[in-house]
Amino acid sequence: MGRHKQPEIRDRILDACVCHALAHGLPDRLEPLATAAGTSTRMLIYHFGTRDALLREILERARQRQRDFFGELVSARPDEPYPVTLGRAWRMMTGPAGRPYLSMFGKLREDAEQQLWPGFRRESTTDWLQLFEDGMRSIGRPELGTLVLAVVRGLILDIETTGDASRADQAFDHFLATLTPAT
């Protein structure tokens, strides 16, 4: 008679694997994940079935963490103008707390075959649109949600490509100035 799977152990292992992948990227082999989770590759296969199934679950959990984190950052606040919220969100998303997500999902977007997450490019674009529209609605301009999303995604791509975060920060500040009415 085999052991019964224990979901709390599986969940702890998955969390450790997600933390490792965010810090170091998705590995080519299971050994680094097993070490990070304090288990063996055999137990990873026992709990997740295959390497690709584990990697998919890592990506899904990391994406949920990113959605929670970034979603909170870009949500409109009743006590401040939305451009101020966007400025703070941009600094957090592109700063040390947000960079692991940008790195992980930037590499996933570059994967031409997208075997681990078919349709990721489209989903990773459209899932932020409503949040930006809602935020822009707070200043009476919900139709600019797509523009905000395009600027954010474009400048993130610029940082990933050139590494010039300072220039991208300056460009984002200029963009925010166009959203703030002149006084």
pLDDT in tens, 15-53: 999 999 999 988 989 999 999 999 999 999 999 999 989
**Burial degree of 82 (CB within 10 A; 0-12, 13-18, 19+):** buried
Query: Per-residue pLDDT for the chain (183 aa), expressed as one digit of tens each?
Result: 456 667 888 999 999 999 999 999 889 899 999 999 999 999 999 999 999 899 989 999 999 999 999 999 999 999 999 999 999 999 999 999 999 998 888 777 666 556 777 777 778 778 889 999 999 999 999 999 999 999 999 999 999 889 999 999 999 999 999 997 654
**Predicted local confidence at residue 151, as pLDDT:** 97
Q: Do 93 and 13 belong to one domain?
A: no
Is the Cβ–Cβ distance between 120 and 66 less than 8 Å? no
104 belongs to a structural domain: yes
For the chain, count helices (H), then strands (E).
10, 0
- Rg, Å, the chain Cα set: 19
40 belongs to a structural domain: yes
Is the Cβ–Cβ distance between 156 and 110 less than 8 Å? no
Range of the domain at 21: 1-49
**Burial degree of 141 (CB within 10 A; 0-12, 13-18, 19+):** middle
CA triplet 109, 146, 105: central angle to 5 degrees?
20
Q: Tally the domains of the chain.
A: 2
57 belongs to a structural domain: no
7 belongs to a structural domain: yes
Q: Do 33 and 109 belong to one domain?
A: no
9 belongs to a structural domain: yes
CA distance 85 to 151: 15
Q: Do 39 and 85 belong to one domain?
A: no
Q: Do 4 and 80 belong to one domain?
A: no
96: left (phi over 0), alpha (psi -120 to 50) or beta: alpha
Q: Do 84 and 121 belong to one domain?
A: yes
Q: Do 30 and 101 belong to one domain?
A: no
Residue with tokens 């984190």: 69
CATH code of the domain covering residue 41: 1.10.10.60
Q: Do 45 and 67 belong to one domain?
A: no
Residue in 127, 144, 126 with CA at minimum distance from that of residue 135? 144
**Predicted local confidence at residue 4, as pLDDT:** 67
The type of residue at 173 is: D
Mean pLDDT score of the chain: 89
Residue with tokens 């919900």: 142
Q: Do 66 and 42 belong to one domain?
A: no
Q: Is the dihedral of CA 160, 163, 168, 169 positive or negative?
A: positive
CA triplet 134, 139, 141: central angle to 5 degrees?
70
Q: Do 92 and 174 belong to one domain?
A: yes
